[in-house]
Structure 1
Amino acid sequence: MGELQTLDLLVILVYLVGIIIYGISKSKRSSSEDYFLGGRTMTWPIVGIALFSANISSSTLVGLASDAFQTDVSVYNYEWYAVIILIFFSIFFLPFYLKSGVYTMPEFLERRYDSRSRYYFSFITVVGNVLVDTAAGLYVGKIVLTLLFPQLDSTLILVLLAVAAAAYTIPGGLNSVIQTEVIQAVLLIIGSCLLTYFAFDRMGGGWSAMMENLDAMLANGDVNFDKKIEAGQYIPQTSDDVFSLVRPSNDKIPGWSLLTGIPLLGFYFWANNQFMVQRVLGAKDLNHGRWGALFAGLLKLPVIFIMVVPGVLALILFNTLDISSLNYELTDGSICDDLSDCPNLTYPVLLFKLLPTGVLGLVVAGLMAAMMSSVSATFNSASTLVTMDFVKQLKPSLTSKQLVRSGQITTLILVVLAILWVPFIETVSDSLWEYLQTVIAYTCPPAVSTFLLGLFWKRANGTGSIVSLLIGFGLAIFTILSQIFGWIEPINAIHFLAKASWLFVICVVIHVVVSLATAPSPAEKVAEYTYRKTLFTEETEELKSLPWYKNYRYLAVILLIITAIIVGSFW
């Protein structure tokens, strides 16, 4: 396991070289708008696939399989809930983003509030991009390549991965990122389908055989639940329990989180996060932006079959597999003996144990494609934030060409910072998915409250925004430190999604109180950047001229029906 044949290596090499050349050839950098937003010419299929590809990154692939291996199939709740969030985003947020012509989410906050909120949110977003998205993508690449080439130094692997992703991001900008994401998304979906097929084939049956095997393992006590028992978490008794999306309160993703925590993280990720929204900002018009967002939601639905289910199949096929020969070290320095000790290796083990020569090279290339996609996307979005929210503000006299050069230099600096942070990921959590969601859960509540109140409450002002953002950030830091050092046990015992919900409520209250106690925002900020009922009426008249299949409202309803059918079957 872990050895590639010559054909596999050739496939990977050809792909990596080809995607870099293709990315550079698709560069648009004649102006800052070309470089950072692809000239705002993206059509809906490109927008949708780019959103999907940037979201279903290598870290998501590894994280979903890892949680499914631990019988936490309810992790799919994060995936299907994206449909709800994207529809809400298309109706309310997107029209304001596109009509305002902004480059960044912090820039939008400045137009609605003031520069204080802009600079704070820009700084936090850049830090989050480096610590969460970029570092996690590089971490996954390091895992795979360390298993494939154990003789290579891990630092060298990180450098090679970062340089490969930056090779077309630095010269090409957003258009290069999005054009390569389209190819990578197609390869990623094909690879995931192939992996699922070979896993079912190895098991010797289809869905019913998987459920029967899973029932037998649970009944015989063949599944290692030591970590769940130690954490006091829910233990599934049957295969139906494993695939149930609504879990009791002591589960890793409890049922109540569908009403609070998960929507909160979803709003931030899909509607406020520069990393994702930048793809829609590059749409050629509002309709293409909306269609692209809905298309991305549709692409999220099959994830349970091609990215979550393989983790369950790994539990059935490789639960007792001895992987000590991989010499994979845990955070305490010991060697990992089986997957229950290092679930992050679930997806790589599936690749190396199931796929034949040639196909293995293709799917590994797909995994590397996902890594490069997410890393290049965060490089570009973070460099956009630094350039447009800091450099341009400090030196407004810079030409468009100089701004592009600034973005390129920023990307190079972010490459170095992300490489330096990767070794710390495993010290935070042994589950990559939990690491990703926990960091977002503690940092997103202040931002979500600011965006929502700004859009739907006319009285929200800049002072209320910055006070709630700063206090929310302080509370988030305190919560994280309390968890690390064991300061306040009652707080530490609260589920991280519940903590996120409470942080959100506190930030909303602070924002409301401070706004009411201080002067209201200028009338032009309220008029241009706050939702009002007349906008819905005006839009209704505009949509009457379109056939039903171009009316995003009809498309949204159809998408909701499809989502209800799929989710209902696992309820």
Structure 2
Amino acid sequence: MCCPVPVPHQLIQFWHRKDCTRKTNNRHMTEISLSSIDIAIIIGYFMLIIGIGVWVSKRTETGEDLFLAGRTLGWGVIGFSLFASNISSTTLIGLSGDAYRTGISVANYEWMAAIVLILMAVFFIPYYIKSSITTIPEFLENRFDVRSRKYFSIITIFLSIAVDTAGGLYAGALVVQVFFPEIGIWYTILGLGIFAGLYTAAGGLKAVVYTDVLQAVILLTGSTILTVLMFSNFDFSWEAFRSTVSDDHMSMIRPLDDEALPWLGTLIGVPILGFYYWATNQYIVQRVLGARDIKNARWGAMLGGALKVTALFIMVIPGAMAISVFPGLEDPDMVFPTMVANVLPIGITGLVLAGLISAILSSIDSTLNSASTLITMDFVKPKNPNLDNKQIGKIGRWTTIILMLVAVLWAPNIVHFEGIFRYIQQAFSYIVPPVVAIFFMGILWKRGSRHAAFWTLVSGHSISFLIFILSINGYIELHFTITAGLLTALSFLIFYLISIFGEAPEEGSMDTIIWKPKDAKPSEPLPWYKDYRFHSAMIVLATVAIVIAFW
């Protein structure tokens, strides 16, 4: 599902670019080229990825192996995979590009993710792991009924393929073209799609998460090196750097009328988008569902949250530094490629580019695997309950390949919908609110009814669609994050009213699902340094310090 970072504003315009000419420091970059060493490193990297896929595929037999890695994932793999699956081409390029264009307030999406992962660990992971569900929509059936499960599953499948997978293929192809302009857009999309589709179908979630770990380490290392080298342009002096940018540009809490991200949007909208993405999104939560136990699931969430806190320093601030290092870039989306090509030394450039392409593939393979899981487990298996695990695995593989072909065929058509592609990204602000309401009310309030859940989804999305149409036609002028917060409040109200005036769930039927304070405790006695609540406190303190420092 879509990450809550805004899609790069000029991403679609890559298609129309005749060349890569850009003015930087009164000079022209006619083309971003790679050395033979860089190219060799990229080839070697992807040979390693293929090797991992082949190795894992030999150990992937059942549906549970394919979809949930046999529920054997440890906390380190989960944490790095959570981070890596989120770092798509739009995230890397979007963070640095928005920091260059509007300022570092875009980092609010990153530190808020850490807070949301803590909430997931407290409220939702206990149920997700104890109930042994395979898909997130299963929660809605267990808590409410099959109507809500299928409704949410259909929405997730459509958005995963039409927006996330196809959009990832298209955006990824455009990024690859910056470095390899001689390769046509269609061939690049096809190549990315086939590569991601085949090794996802072969190795399933385990292949995805193992490559995620490698990719995360490369991107974290490469981004750190990039930050250090960018900082060296200011003789490692923070004061020298701050003198080159305005105070507004280095402020994360922006005025109410700010175009990029107003403070009210940060307060009421970003948490809503973040909760949907991190706690209810199949392709993200699937990593948690594959944990070997609740301890590893929570530790993995804490590691993912800690890694998200670092994004401000190694992905956002370098974009702000580029203002004086590479002034005059007309296209903010060229900031990250420009830094990689001109700042990193030979060898490291190829490694980081390999990691970037792998990040693109990670988002693609994650959405393919999650959509395949939803179709197989939410629609095929309920109609064919006698299917064994091997048959389910086979169906899942073929479903992955078919979905890959659909996304590949659709992806090139995105060029015809420049404005709509951006609108679709913002449309998550209208899709998310009813879902967030029924998940939170469902786990915190036992009086919430099955009819309330279904009709909150239907009526909430109907109202959201109307507001969306009015907004894009200029009749309502609210930042999309503020709209998300207001629509969520309305969805909570709809759920509450229908529940109060409708039938109540059977007494005692919700006892195993409704959250209780004891659920927040570790599943077994642990020393303080292994207690996820201690980890949570450290992440909160770090986040508060960052917000205060960059207020």
Say if 1:73 and 1:242, in contact at 8 Å, map to a contact too: yes
Q: Which residue of 2 aligns with 1:519?
A: 503
Q: Which residue of 2 aligns with 1:490?
A: 475
Three-state SS of the structure 1 residue aligned to 2:510 is: helix
Return the alpha-carbon distance in structure 2 between the equivalents of residues 423 and 521 of structure 1: 48
Asked if residue 565 in structure 1 is aligned to residue 545 in structure 2, the reply is: yes
Say if 1:62 and 1:140, in contact at 8 Å, map to a contact too: no
Return the alpha-carbon distance in structure 2 between the equivalents of residues 483 and 34 of structure 1: 44
Say if 1:59 and 1:136, in contact at 8 Å, map to a contact too: no
Say if 2:122 and 2:519, in contact at 8 Å, map to a contact too: no
Asked if residue 354 in structure 1 is aligned to residue 361 in structure 2, the reply is: no
Q: Structure 2-normalised TM-score?
A: 0.89
Unpaired segments ≥5 residues, structure 2:
1-30
Asked if residue 15 in structure 1 is aligned to residue 45 in structure 2, the reply is: yes
Return the alpha-carbon distance in structure 1 between the equivalents of residues 465 and 119 of structure 2: 30
Q: Which residue of 2 aligns with 1:410?
A: 399
Distance 1:352 1:435, change over 3 A: farther
Return the alpha-carbon distance in structure 2 between the equivalents of residues 439 and 531 of structure 1: 30
Distance 1:143 1:556, change over 3 A: same
Distance 1:427 1:246, change over 3 A: farther
Q: Which residue of 2 aligns with 1:295?
A: 303
Say if 2:129 and 2:294, in contact at 8 Å, map to a contact too: yes
Say if 1:169 and 1:376, in contact at 8 Å, map to a contact too: yes
Return the alpha-carbon distance in structure 2 between the equivalents of residues 201 and 66 of structure 1: 20
Q: Structure 1-normalised TM-score?
A: 0.86
> Aligned partner of 1:287: which letter?
K
Return the alpha-carbon distance in structure 2 between the equivalents of residues 29 and 450 of structure 1: 35
Offset at 1:64? 0.4
> Aligned partner of 2:283: which letter?
F
Aligned residues: 519
Counterpart pick for 1:479 among 444, 449, 467: 467
Return the alpha-carbon distance in structure 2 between the equivalents of residues 206 and 416 of structure 1: 50
* Alpha-carbon displacement from aligned partner over 1:88-130 (angstroms, at most 9, x marks no partner): 1111111011111100110111000000000010111112222
Q: Which residue of 1 aligns with 2:64?
A: 33
Q: Which residue of 2 aligns with 1:363?
A: 352
Counterpart pick for 1:241 among 245, 248, 265: 248
Offset at 1:283? 0.8
> Aligned partner of 2:388: which letter?
T
Return the alpha-carbon distance in structure 1 between the equivalents of residues 99 and 346 of structure 2: 26
Asked if residue 144 in structure 1 is aligned to residue 181 in structure 2, the reply is: no
> Aligned partner of 2:107: which letter?
Y
Q: Which residue of 1 aligns with 2:13?
A: none
Return the alpha-carbon distance in structure 2 between the equivalents of residues 307 and 430 of structure 1: 26
Distance 1:496 1:427, change over 3 A: farther
Q: Which residue of 2 aligns with 1:555?
A: 535
Unpaired segments ≥5 residues, structure 1:
215-237, 321-338
Offset at 1:51? 0.7
Q: Which residue of 2 aligns with 1:382?
A: 371
Offset at 1:429? 6.1
> Aligned partner of 1:134: which letter?
T
Say if 1:20 and 1:167, in contact at 8 Å, map to a contact too: no
> Aligned partner of 2:544: which letter?
A
Say if 1:344 and 1:431, in contact at 8 Å, map to a contact too: no
* Alpha-carbon displacement from aligned partner over 1:232-268 (angstroms, at most 9, x marks no partner): xxxxxx2x22111111011121111232101101111
Distance 1:77 1:142, change over 3 A: same
> Aligned partner of 2:492: which letter?
V
> Aligned partner of 1:13: which letter?
I
Q: Which residue of 2 aligns with 1:225?
A: none
Return the alpha-carbon distance in structure 1 between the equivalents of residues 41 and 369 of structure 2: 27
* Alpha-carbon displacement from aligned partner over 1:392-432 (angstroms, at most 9, x marks no partner): 11222222222112211221222233334434656666799
Of 364-373 and 503-512, the range deviating more from structure 2: 503-512
Of 43-52 and 516-525, the range deviating more from structure 2: 516-525
Q: Which residue of 2 aligns with 1:500?
A: 484
> Aligned partner of 1:552: which letter?
Y
Say if 1:106 and 1:119, in contact at 8 Å, map to a contact too: yes
Q: Which residue of 2 aligns with 1:331?
A: none
Say if 2:53 and 2:202, in contact at 8 Å, map to a contact too: no
Q: Which residue of 1 aligns with 2:325?
A: 317
Counterpart pick for 1:188 among 184, 204, 219: 219
